[in-house]
Structure 1
Amino acid sequence: MINYAPKNFTLSLTAIALSTVLSTSFLPLSTAIAADEHVQSSANTGSSNAAKSPDGMNKKIDFVERIQIIGHGNKLRTEAGSATLIGEAELEKFKFDDINRILYNVPGVNIREEDGYGLRPNIGFRGATPERSKKITVMEDGILIGPAPYSAPAAYYFPMMSKMTSLEVFKGPAAIKYGPNTVAGALNMTTRAVPDGQEGMIDVAAGSDGYSKVHGYYGTKIGNLGVLIEAINMQADGFKELDGGGSTLYGKGDGNTGFDKNDIMAKFRYDLITGSIEHTFGLKISYADEKSNETYLGLTDDDFYANPDRRYAASELDNMDWQHEQFQFSHFMQTNSFDITTRIYRNNFERSWFKINGFDNGPDLQDILANPYDEDQDGTNARYYQVLTGQADSNNQNEHIIVGDNAREYYSQGIQTELYFDQQLFGLNHKFNVGARFHQDQIERNHTEDSFSMTSGHLVADGSEQVKTTTNREKTDAIAVFFKDTIKYGALDITLGLRGEFIDSTYQNRVAGKEDDWQKKSSHIWLPSLSLFYTVNENLGLLFGVHEGFIPTSPKEGPETEIENSVNYEFGGRFYQGDLQGEAIFFYNDMSNLKESCSFSTASSCGDSLDKEFNGGEVDVYGLEFSTSYTFTLSDTLDVPMSLVYTYSDSEFKNSFVSGFSMWGSITEGDSLPYLAEHQLTLNLGLTAEQWDINLIARYVGEMQEVSGKATTPEGDPVEKIYLEGATTEAYIVVDLSASYYLGQYGKVYIKADNILDSQEIVSRRPYGARPSKPQMFFVGYQYSF
């Protein structure tokens, strides 16, 4: 058993914890805000649930508010920690399908783009490595939505944004409620609530590169029973141009580099009153799938600047195929003195990721693409480059191309409950939020590889027997608890929190004859937090927060791999005066150990280090998050809303060391983290009238390092598999435009233009070569609501 105690951080919370029930809260912070401040602004509330406010008047706290984000109210926000809400009205402005484009409106978010459509997001907060969003806690309707958030947090599944009605981002002490990962923060997305009456919507759109979308929902209520059905199909042919027109192996040959996604969801809600107690029962069932002809294979820099949308022939078979199933049952009970929410959930996810892995005992793909002409060597890379692009046939086994199928099966299930109640203690009003969660998840890897020869510009199976490469299982049982107490003392709000994570995990090698290769591991940790908010006046407030962050290690890692652990600080203020709002927060994350893992998305070749984790030692991450918004009123019918979001981020390793992790290499004290832009800026500008509105969003992302250190040690010895030394992504500006015209009872028509400047830059060279940002695209759609 490995027991972790808080390091360099002491708060007098232990005594409080001993006298109270500890819990884990898994609901949105703004939901808690609404409960704490008794704000009632959800558009979908309808039951008569009530709770007593401090002044003795009954206030409704609907079940929808406990599972869905609602507004912060028309006043200064006084909640603890940093939290950003993007509501349905904001999401409707641009109808973005890509989570990356949405999150550029949130300060403190760092992103590594990959495919242009946001199919496999790479999201980090406050400098956390964005790879596969594995260091943030991702939730849907307050439930962990990653395929196996404890055993394998790298999220190759991400929900469709078109079905979300709002989302929120938590950082700092606000994120400690949402584990297991508390170093960076949490993202919660909310699906549509069951309506109180009959309503529905149909939304159809078409656009560039064969894009189409059909989205609709219908909901009604019969007596105490409410029902909602929602379905989406979205597809595109893709913007990349595949050399040779695509594979003839399966009779395709259509050059499709796009995707086809489906999502269908059914929700049921039943309200019941028994005496003075009110109950709401909810059931959510959903199914989603995706087939996308995506690839990890990029381009040489020269080929990128000649045609950024080109795709080499060797990637013609690359395809992701996944299915996701979700079940969630919830019960909400409320009395005059407390309310409690309990949810049971199960998520199944199965995927087959068929992609080029490299050559059969040939040079590494990243090496070939970084130096395709091999000027300083013997010309070997030039030959392999010709095979990769289909200009030459495979002449020997070393020139045969290995295509791997990373087939995996996941499940994630559990039960969680939480309690809200107010209590007067020692003459002060306390707002308590307590609860607990028991969670299980598992991943089974069944990876295989097949060999193909390049023949006349296409891949042809060479008849070799399929090879099994990785066959293992990782499983985790976890209990999480959380306690939160917000105390009002005059103009000062004090929020004390304490989180506990108790994790038992197992790794099992399932290769025949190696079943004895297994291990068990236990990790127990307590994480305290403290937040202060001082209300200077009704328009201005100051905040301070400190909390301990934690990311567990993989079940297969031994004791030599340490947890990721940090003490995170933030200080700032908020301003609110009518149409003008603003927030500025300085943050500083003092990491005692940074942890990373080698995966196909991060490194050109992990070899025996696939999924292996590496220690990075002490790292500091710091910066400034600033956001402001204002609405100019030009007339009774014409408004100009605008907002500005800015993030400054910097980081530095505190020690020098040499690492086998390809994104680090040979680190010298003072080196900074990869894929962290120093400056990011997003500007939103709108023009809104009675029948139409126009919105423009422009974002700037500064350059980012692709490797922290160097390819040689201080002594000059080479570090294996470091190909991107000194490489950076270029700073770029992207401008998107949307416009809607309302037809009254006949709905509305809308147009969108993504990247109207038609500028494409290299957003990443991982894992194999230069990858482009999304090119200019146009869309037109029609939406009818009833």
Structure 2
Amino acid sequence: MKFSKLALAVGVAALGFNALAEDKNLEHIQIISHHDKLRTEAGSATLISEELLEEFEFDDIHRILSQVPGVNIREEDGFGLRPNIGFRGVTPERSKKITILEDGVLIGPAPYSAPAAYYFPVTTRMTAVEVFKGPAAIKYGPQTVAGTLNLVTRQVPDYAIGGLDLATGSDGYAKAHGYYGNRQDNIGFLVEGVHLESDGFKELDGGGDTGFKKDDFLIKADYKLDGQQFDQRFEVKLSYADELSDETYLGLTDSDFAENPYRRYAASQPAQMDTKHTQVMFTHQLTSQSVDLTTRVYRNDYERAWLKLNGLSNSSASLSDILASPELFEAQYDVIRGERNSVVAGETTHFLTMGTNDREYYSQGIQVDGDWRVPVFGLTHNVSFGVRFHQDEIERNHFEDTYSMIDGVSTRVEGTKTFTTEDTESTDAWSVYIEDQVTLDKLTLGVGVRGELMDMEYQNDKPDSADDYQTKTTRIWLPGVSGFYQLNDNSGLLFGVHQGFVPSSPSSPARGDDDEFEKSVNYEFGGRFNDGVTQFEIVGFYNDYSNLIESCGQSNCGTQVQLDTEFSGGEVDVWGVESQFAQTYPLNIHLDVPMSMTYTYTQSEFQEELYSEFVQWGHIRPGDRLPYLPTHQATFSVGLAHQDWAVDLLVKYVSEMPETAGVGYENFDMPLAGKEVPATTVVDLAAHYELGQYGRIYAKIDNLFDQDNIVSRRPYGARPGKPRTMSIGYKYQF
């Protein structure tokens, strides 16, 4: 394992990625690597390469991003089915405050109208992951406070390639992944498919699976046209994905968690998520010596229906209240566990209210991105520019059914279906950006601006409700400045400042002032070092929120009456330090020891006193911390690498996190006030052996020491991460 492998393990340096740069790969929104070993681009950008993705064979984006500094995560189901990802302290809930792209195109179900990422692409088929934070993310939006995550799919090859990956493991885990592509003259194609499944690691009262099945299929075809002045490439991409998962929001009381963290109560027996996603995308790329121009036309459709427990009838307490204080709500608690029937003679009846959040989404648009290299006054300007017209929509048709707990079995009561939410939210948005980077001796300076121009519409579609219709218009310009000063061949300093913005939802009140939106001014300053043996980067960041906005969603709120309501937290400061280090120690001519480490320190403070009805805030005093934001995060990896085999160990530490920012106050109870998610240390182990022309075999153990701490109590009770799981696989590529 030489230096290039080390750099890939960290995913941030000049990583032998030059082949992609030479091919002008369509799927990468920015080529992070350069021929020089010292990266001189401004801003924080991280590449996780295909080699690193194969090292631990993770299917979970949470585990993949654990090796990127500045990423904060709240685990939920243990598999990463519906990730909760934030950058630099923004709320991780449903990854709604980061911009998520696949092959440079918005991939969320409705990124403007309903940005909660209930759909997330299968990472198993990705060949790279790119993370942009700070001023480096000015080109991507609409969410610009935190940054951008771009998932890169396999490109159409220039010659025949193919691969097969089969694996099996604990709890009924199975993976089947295959692809094949080829090119004849100017026409190329790629077909790829993935199937993942697991029986789940939780033990459902009364029996049943708690796992999932996911399918994902991809077809690409392209045509290359080489000209004297311009080279062109035309590509069509078709994809389909579905998921059927027996997943629930219901957790456990702390005492039940201590007894068996992997138990699932009988009340969650019917819970199930059913989804389908399709994408069509056409891409045209035009390239010359001075201009690169890429045009993408895309359409995404997504539909989902999630059946899960919402509450109990004849109960003034929410599910959060019941599980936080079971001794006060003994009857309801016993019904949830299946140890008491819903109907008991002479006592209050407690039926189960099961809600199905049935939603349909679409997002579509056309975007043009370009790079123009032009000399002016003896200086070379690299001008990046782009424009996008985007439309998206969410249609909600939520309904509830009544279930009765009968002898430990949750049984549907016929004729009880009632629609609870029927509405439509939609957005038409124009986005534009321009950034000019120019090198003055040792200083590379970038100045840019992004514009978001949005027209939003909300319509309440319930037939028995009064007319509830709203339109609103937003026009906002977001400037940014970034730079890199090269101290010598091995080191340099980076800096930047940019305006951050998160749009409000179409249904939120249109107040016509800055309090309507989340806005911040974000700063970063740091340095890089790379002498060909040792790599080191450290970046300090400071996010100055003028108005922090949080919304109540099913995944984080715990109370039905606040769903889809937005709350203002006023002025908040978030600051910290991101660092990463990597080096390889050669033991002899056959063995290397690659090592890398990332560490993130983050602090946050509310600047104003407020009394909020948001269940994660409550009575906030100046100096209170944001919930679900750890102060310390560290990931350490070490390996032993031979030409024919390798063993890698990954250790991740996350310090404790508060469940709430403030405390309850008069007539407002917060069942999780004062509680913390405990610190966790998780160790993963992976190994592989090369069989030459016959492929490779690999094995891995996730959570080697079977860590079973609570990872979250949102929205309803304590929930565990994935326990120790083992798998073995075979991979063949040609």
Cα distance in 1 for partners of 2:380, 2:186 equals 35
Q: How far 1:579 moved relative to its partner?
A: 2.3
Cα distance in 2 for partners of 1:337, 1:149 equals 33
Cα distance in 2 for partners of 1:638, 1:686 equals 10
Note if 1:575 corresponds to 2:523.
Answer: no
Change (3 A) 1:483 1:331: same
Change (3 A) 1:515 1:74: farther
Matched residue of 1:101: which SS?
A: helix
Q: How far 1:636 moved relative to its partner?
A: 2.1
Cα distance in 2 for partners of 1:39, 1:733 equals 29
Moved over 3 A (4+): 37-45, 63-74
Conserved 8 A contact 1:634-1:640? yes
- What aligned pairs does 1:339-350 form with structure 2 within 5 A after superposition? 339-350=292-303
- What aligned pairs does 1:371-450 form with structure 2 within 5 A after superposition? 371-374=325-328, 381-395=329-343, 398-450=349-401
Cα distance in 1 for partners of 2:30, 2:401 equals 46
Q: How far 1:81 moved relative to its partner?
A: 0.7
Cα distance in 2 for partners of 1:293, 1:593 equals 38
1:756 to 686, 704, 712: 704
- Report the counterpart of residue 216 of structure 2 in structure 1: 263
Conserved 8 A contact 1:113-1:763? yes
Deviations 1:528-570 (A, max 9, x none): 0001211000111011110000001010111345200000001
- Report the counterpart of residue 573 of structure 2 in structure 1: 620
Change (3 A) 1:63 1:698: closer
Cα distance in 2 for partners of 1:686, 1:223 equals 42
Q: Which amino acid aligns with 1:400?
A: F
Cα distance in 2 for partners of 1:535, 1:123 equals 32
Conserved 8 A contact 1:63-1:280? no
Note if 1:563 corresponds to 2:514.
Answer: no
Change (3 A) 1:353 1:771: same
Note if 1:335 corresponds to 2:288.
Answer: yes
Q: How far 1:427 moved relative to its partner?
A: 2.7
**Percent identity for Structure 1 against Structure 2:** 54
453-462 vs 585-594, which moves further: 453-462
- Report the counterpart of residue 219 of structure 1 in structure 2: 181
Change (3 A) 1:604 1:67: closer
Change (3 A) 1:201 1:392: same
- Report the counterpart of residue 197 of structure 1 in structure 2: 159
Structure 1 unaligned segments of length 5 or more: list them.
1-36, 46-59, 246-254, 375-380
Cα distance in 2 for partners of 1:743, 1:66 equals 31
Matched residue of 1:616: which SS?
A: strand
- What aligned pairs does 1:211-250 form with structure 2 within 5 A after superposition? 211-245=173-207
Conserved 8 A contact 2:25-2:155? no
Q: Which amino acid aligns with 2:363?
A: S
- What aligned pairs does 1:570-649 form with structure 2 within 5 A after superposition? 570-607=524-561, 609-649=562-602
Note if 1:718 corresponds to 2:680.
Answer: no
Structure 2 unaligned segments of length 5 or more: list them.
1-12
- Report the counterpart of residue 319 of structure 2 in structure 1: 365
Q: How far 1:72 moved relative to its partner?
A: 3.9
Change (3 A) 1:241 1:776: same
Deviations 1:547-606 (A, max 9, x none): 000001010111345200000001110001112111000100000000000111111113
Q: Which amino acid aligns with 1:166?
A: A
Note if 1:496 corresponds to 2:447.
Answer: yes
Matched residue of 1:670: which SS?
A: coil
Matched residue of 1:537: which SS?
A: coil
Cα distance in 2 for partners of 1:483, 1:515 equals 45
Q: How far 1:331 moved relative to its partner?
A: 0.3
Q: Which amino acid aligns with 1:296?
A: Y
Change (3 A) 1:265 1:515: farther
- Report the counterpart of residue 528 of structure 1 in structure 2: 479
Considering only aligned residues, what root-mean-square deviation do their CA atoms show, in Å?
A: 1.6
- TM-score by length of structure 1 reads 0.89
Conserved 8 A contact 1:121-1:132? yes
Q: How many residues align?
A: 716
Q: How far 1:195 moved relative to its partner?
A: 0.9
Deviations 1:214-237 (A, max 9, x none): 000000011111110000000000
Cα distance in 2 for partners of 1:440, 1:181 equals 16
421-430 vs 143-152, which moves further: 421-430
Matched residue of 1:399: which SS?
A: coil
Matched residue of 2:588: which SS?
A: coil
Cα distance in 2 for partners of 1:429, 1:196 equals 32
Q: How far 1:43 moved relative to its partner?
A: 4.2
- TM-score by length of structure 2 reads 0.96
Note if 1:552 corresponds to 2:503.
Answer: yes
Cα distance in 2 for partners of 1:506, 1:697 equals 47
Note if 1:165 corresponds to 2:127.
Answer: yes
Cα distance in 2 for partners of 1:426, 1:747 equals 55
Conserved 8 A contact 2:33-2:39? no
Q: How far 1:66 moved relative to its partner?
A: 5.5
Change (3 A) 1:70 1:92: farther
Conserved 8 A contact 2:18-2:34? no
Change (3 A) 1:431 1:625: same
Matched residue of 2:219: which SS?
A: strand
Deviations 1:219-259 (A, max 9, x none): 001111111000000000000000111xxxxxxxxx10000
Cα distance in 2 for partners of 1:540, 1:308 equals 48
